Amino acid sequence: GAGVSQSPSNKVTEKGKDVELRCDPISGHTALYWYRQSLGQGLEFLIYFQGNSAPDKSGLPSDRFSAERTGGSVSTLTIQRTQQEDSAVYLCASSERQGLADTQYFGPGTRLTVL
Amino acid sequence: GIQVEQSPPDLILQEGANSTLRCNFSDSVNNLQWFHQNPWGQLINLFYIPSGTKQNGRLSATTVATERYSLLYISSSQTTDSGVYFCAVGGAKTSYDKVIFGPGTSLSVIP
């Protein structure tokens, strides 16, 4: 079956613009995670959706970052007023069941470059 | 917050050799995971192992929570094992609260 997909694969934007990154999890997976990976900060957890519960936003770096998950499926990560330090690869993962013990399946990532 | 260290930072192995990667953390944790990122950037979740020992094929992991470390064992290494291995720890059992990643161990397996 299809894995986790992310779009766009690459995004170049100007400082101050808003961007939307999309994640399509594996069908039927109840948990969805966003991470980012940058040269300066390494791998960072951003936000976690578990079923219909309120998302765990503890990893979001600032209030310019927000995420939604509509209908328990597709998720969108929005970055407002982008800054150069937002440049990174943004990774999405999903897992079948709720709970941390379940295997996460990762998408290929979106490479964001802020000029 | 919790500090996570990994060692060694870089490792080169001959194909067929065994290796042990270590993850040290500075505080009690209820969540510990190992990940592998291949040279093309694809991440794979290897183990969820807040305590005890698990095995999956040539890979196994042990976490000694009371001593604040975890070990990842790779036996009979293959070139496909190359990449970066990350451990990630978190303090809360029921949420992903404050998950912190280590800096990674970069492994190169040469034929």
What pLDDT sits at residue B94? 52
d(CA A3, CA A90): 16
Q: Which residues of A touch B101 (CB under 8 A)?
A: 42-45
In this prediction, residue A57 carries a pLDDT of 78
Question: Which of A8-12, A17-21, A102-106, B70-74 is least confident?
Answer: A102-106
* Three-class secondary structure of residue A70 per DSSP: helix
Q: Closest by alpha carbon to B4, among A44, A23, A9?
A: A44
- Tell me which residues of chain A, numbers 2 to 31, contact chain B at a CB-CB cutoff of 8 Å: none
Q: Round to whole Å and give the CA distance between A18 and A28.
A: 30
Mean pLDDT of B71-92: 93
Question: DSSP strand E in A26-104: where?
Answer: 31-38, 42-50, 65-69, 75-79, 88-95
Mean pLDDT of A21-32: 93
Please enumerate, as own/partner, the contacts of A55-59 that have beta carbons within 8 Å and a separation of 24 or more. A56/B95, A56/B96, A56/B97, A58/B95, A58/B96, A58/B97, A58/B98, A59/B96, A59/B98, A59/B99
Rounded to whole angstroms, the Cα distance separating A36 from A2 reads 22
Residue in A102, A103, A106 closest to B42 by CB: A106
Query: pLDDT (tens digit, 9 = 90+) per residue, A31-90?
Result: 899 999 998 778 998 998 887 777 877 788 899 999 999 887 899 999 999 999 999 999
Q: Which of residues 3-22 of B touch A (CB under 8 A)?
A: none
Which among B42, B48, B96 has the least Cβ separation from residue A101?
Answer: B48
Q: Rounded CA gap, B74 and B8, in Å?
A: 14
